[in-house]
Amino acid sequence: MAALDVIGFMEKLEATEAPPFTSPQWRYGAEEDALTFYFRNEESYAHRLNEYVTIFLAFDGDQLVGCQVKGVRRRLKSDGQFAVSLVGQSGKVEIGMIFHLLAYDTPDPRLVELGQRAKGLNVDASELMPSS
């Protein structure tokens, strides 16, 4: 079977109208072990903050738009204390807490802002830390 090329696949998707962006949006990609979080829809560029965090800043004005955190599962697995801090009795990880904890490593007001923006959003711990 021949593979569709990327542009062909895009054209296929564009045959149906895309929904408008609604804020906030987040996604944990298990394959890439990365959490992506957006709370604004401005066009943005990437700025690497540290080993784990890349922030997205608006082309116009450099305001914080979102971020990507790499190696979330790897870090949860390797750092028991980090994991215990995040997973409460509900079995859910509050995304905002991840940013607040990362801010201890890299004191940056933008990480604190991300923590505030992500308040109330959570992900099942089992998704981040599969038992197998």
Sheet holding 34-38, edge to edge: 25-29, 34-38, 64-70, 53-58, 44-48
Task: Candidates 49, 70, 77, 113: give the one binding another protein (CB under 8 A).
Answer: 70
Q: Given the complex with another protein, which of 61 and 109 has the nearer CB atom? A: 61
Q: Is 15 in the site for another protein (CB under 8 A)?
A: no
Binding range to another protein, per CB under 8 A, among 6-14, 81-89, 95-103, 118-126: 6-14
Q: Is 1 in the site for another protein (CB under 8 A)?
A: yes
Q: Which residues bind another protein (CB under 8 A)?
A: 1-10, 13-14, 18-22, 25, 27, 29, 31-32, 34, 36, 38, 41-45, 51, 59, 68, 70-71, 74
